[in-house]
Chain A
Amino acid sequence: MKLSFKRIWGIILRHLYLLKHSFSRWIDLLYWPTVDLLLWGFITIYLQKDFYPEGKWVFQFIGALIFWNILIRAQQGLAVGFLEDIWARNLLHLFVSPLTITEYLLGLFIFSLFKAFIASLLMAIIATFAFNFKIWLQGIDIFLMVFNLIFFAWSIGLLTMAFILFFGQEAEILAWALALFFLPFSAVFYPVDVLPKFFQYMAQFVPTSYIFETMRKVLLEGEVSYVLILKAYFLTIIYFFISVVIFILSFNFAKKMGKFTKIGE
């Protein structure tokens, strides 16, 4: 069966309409990234000014914050988008239509990309004016890293959706919590070598640890490690593949158990 772009657009449109009517969803999209950036940006300026005047502390923190927010927005855009359909008991209506699971996921992927773009654009603008940090001047390699973060975010999002289908709505907390599990191992705000040995070992299997290490290298030394980026992509492809398989198994399990008729009640 051929992919239908009209059906993919239907899914995007459904979430755009939802956003259009919801002030709280705009707050979620714009308020938290702004608060995060201003809070941590000014704390870092204070620490650098009074305690550690050497180095590019501020840039390192702001870059990490923007990157982490891209990951969180892309992951939540996917998982919360799916939850929106569960809360509205809309999954049943969607899947009695000709919509395929691939088209549904592609619609959610694109919408999550839109949310990540809005949040990161806002953060980039604030970072420019408040901290004189221009992320787009850090080179084209930044986009290579961002794409990796987005793919990993989708893997986490798909896993979250699979757990919700398998365990029911009790698992919906994972839409906000699962990405945070990877935070300590991702070495977002500190280098991997400050972690305890076991955490360093774990970090080897987390693609984001390579991305954040590379980001620090770019911001502090102006160097890109393509080896680290390649390692990140290698791991992300594996995670993405595993997540897709687990999601499809959960989707079929939900159909077998009749969960689509009950979920959201």
Chain B
Amino acid sequence: MKPILKVENVYKNFGSKIVLKNVSFELYPSDILGIIGPNGAGKSTLLYILLNIITPTSGKIFYFGKDFFKNRSEILKKVSFASQYVSLPYSLTVEENLKVFANLYEIKKADKKITELLDLFRLKDKKKVLTRALSSGEMMRLNLVRAFLNDPLILLLDEPTAGLDPEYVKYISELLKYLSKDKQLAIILTSHQLGELEKIINKALLIKNGITLAYGTLTELFKKFKVNSLEELYFKILT
């Protein structure tokens, strides 16, 4: 099977500060990769490089076998992103925000799609509400609705469950797991909630100061480092 995302030797420095050093990994359909590391490890920078929001200093990125930097617009039609820390414009209603993005992703039958997704993420009654009136949990779910508008093949999530009620953390985790299995969706996510992360990811990339300290499937990593949980792995490698 061919990887749907291939990251080769990515470096990033801001001036003299090295943020990422020689990061490489591959992602296959239905993979759920957790990028794990302490604050300032370079996790978000890596996600933003994978979205072409930050330009890498060097390295190559291939989505679906195509060079990302030469086919950005075409590739981003099937890649999506959501973050707890980036909200949609507050002055528009939930529906208006989604309609804007439905146009940006050239979604056909957008109204139907929006209604279905709002239902799936339990936001149906918030359709006409101004985005500023949403709670942080509802805002994250709205971000996820936006991220699923284009039926992505790869989904990048920056701390998707931070600030959510335990009920929604469980719901979102189960939903992501279901979508990855059922729709062959590949997911990359960062999170500090190692317990929750361990339940859904099958691969992990552990980084510190921009350097990859471990990468592989959870089974391989647990065996290699002789640990029984992600938390143990984290403390063994990263501290």
Contacts beyond the supplied A10-B100, A88-B89: 13 A-B pairs with Cβ under 8 Å: A1-B74, A4-B106, A13-B99, A14-B100, A90-B89, A96-B79, A98-B76, A98-B105, A98-B106, A99-B104, A100-B72, A258-B14, A258-B48
Task: Flag if B100 contacts A261 (CB, 8 Å).
Answer: no
28 contacts between A and B (CB under 8 A): A6-B104, A10-B103, A10-B104, A17-B92, A18-B92, A21-B92, A21-B130, A88-B89, A89-B86, A90-B88, A90-B89, A92-B86, A93-B88, A93-B146, A95-B53, A96-B52, A96-B76, A96-B81, A98-B72, A98-B76, A99-B104, A255-B52, A255-B54, A256-B54, A258-B48, A258-B54, A260-B48, A261-B48
Complex Cα–Cα for A236 and B189 (A):
48
**With known contacts A18-B91, A22-B91, A100–B54 Cβ distance under 8 A:** no
Please name the residue on chain A nearest to B54 by beta carbon.
A258
Please name the residue on chain A nearest to B131 by beta carbon.
A88
Q: What secondary structure prevails in chain B residues at the interface with A? A: mixed
Task: Please indicate which of the listed interface residues A1, A96, A258 has the most CB atoms of chain B within 10 Å of its own CB.
Answer: A96
Inter-chain contacts of B87 with A (CB < 8 A): 89
- Tell me whether B4 is interfacial, beta carbon within 8 Å: no
Q: What secondary structure prevails in chain A residues at the interface with B? A: helix
Please name the residue on chain A nearest to B89 by beta carbon.
A88
Inter-chain contacts of A21 with B (CB < 8 A): 91-92, 130
What is the 8 Å Cβ interface bit string for chain A, positions 2-45, against chain B (1 contact, 0 not)?
A: 00101101110110011001100000000000000000000000
- Tell me whether B16 is interfacial, beta carbon within 8 Å: no
Task: Flag if B48 contacts A17 (CB, 8 Å).
Answer: no
Inter-chain contacts of B55 with A (CB < 8 A): 252, 255-256
Number of interface residues of A (CB under 8 A): 33
Residue numbers of B with Cβ under 8 A of A are 14, 44-45, 48, 51-55, 72-74, 76-77, 79-81, 86-93, 96, 99-106, 130, 146
Top 10 closest pairs, chain A to chain B, by CB? A10-B103, A88-B89, A97-B104, A10-B104, A98-B73, A98-B76, A14-B100, A17-B96, A96-B51, A96-B81
Complex Cα–Cα for A92 and B80 (A):
12
**In the assembled complex, how far is the CB of residue A208 from the closest CB belonging to chain B, in whole angstroms?**
33
Please name the residue on chain B nearest to A95 by beta carbon.
B53
| Interfacial residues of chain A within 234-265, with CB under 8 A of chain B in the complex | 252, 255-258, 260-261
Inter-chain contacts of A11 with B (CB < 8 A): 104
Task: Flag if A261 contacts B54 (CB, 8 Å).
Answer: yes
Contact among A7, A17, A88, A261 for B104, CB-based, below 8 A: A7
Task: Flag if B104 contacts A94 (CB, 8 Å).
Answer: yes
Task: Flag if A14 contacts B86 (CB, 8 Å).
Answer: no
Inter-chain contacts of B130 with A (CB < 8 A): 21
Inter-chain contacts of B100 with A (CB < 8 A): 10, 13-14, 17
Task: Flag if B101 contacts A97 (CB, 8 Å).
Answer: yes
Task: Flag if B91 contacts A92 (CB, 8 Å).
Answer: no
**In the assembled complex, how far is the CB of residue A259 from the closest CB belonging to chain B, in whole angstroms?**
9
Complex Cα–Cα for A261 and B81 (A):
13
Complex Cα–Cα for A7 and B79 (A):
16
**In the assembled complex, how far is the CB of residue A263 from the closest CB belonging to chain B, in whole angstroms?**
11
Task: Flag if B86 contacts A255 (CB, 8 Å).
Answer: no
Inter-chain contacts of B76 with A (CB < 8 A): 96-98
Please name the residue on chain A nearest to B56 by beta carbon.
A256
Complex Cα–Cα for A14 and B88 (A):
11
Task: Flag if B106 contacts A7 (CB, 8 Å).
Answer: yes
Complex Cα–Cα for A84 and B90 (A):
11
**In the assembled complex, how far is the CB of residue A9 from the closest CB belonging to chain B, in whole angstroms?**
5
Complex Cα–Cα for A257 and B74 (A):
24
**In the assembled complex, how far is the CB of residue A157 from the closest CB belonging to chain B, in whole angstroms?**
20
Complex Cα–Cα for A14 and B105 (A):
14
Inter-chain contacts of B146 with A (CB < 8 A): 93
Inter-chain contacts of A252 with B (CB < 8 A): 55
Task: Flag if B103 contacts A260 (CB, 8 Å).
Answer: no
Task: Flag if A98 contacts B103 (CB, 8 Å).
Answer: no
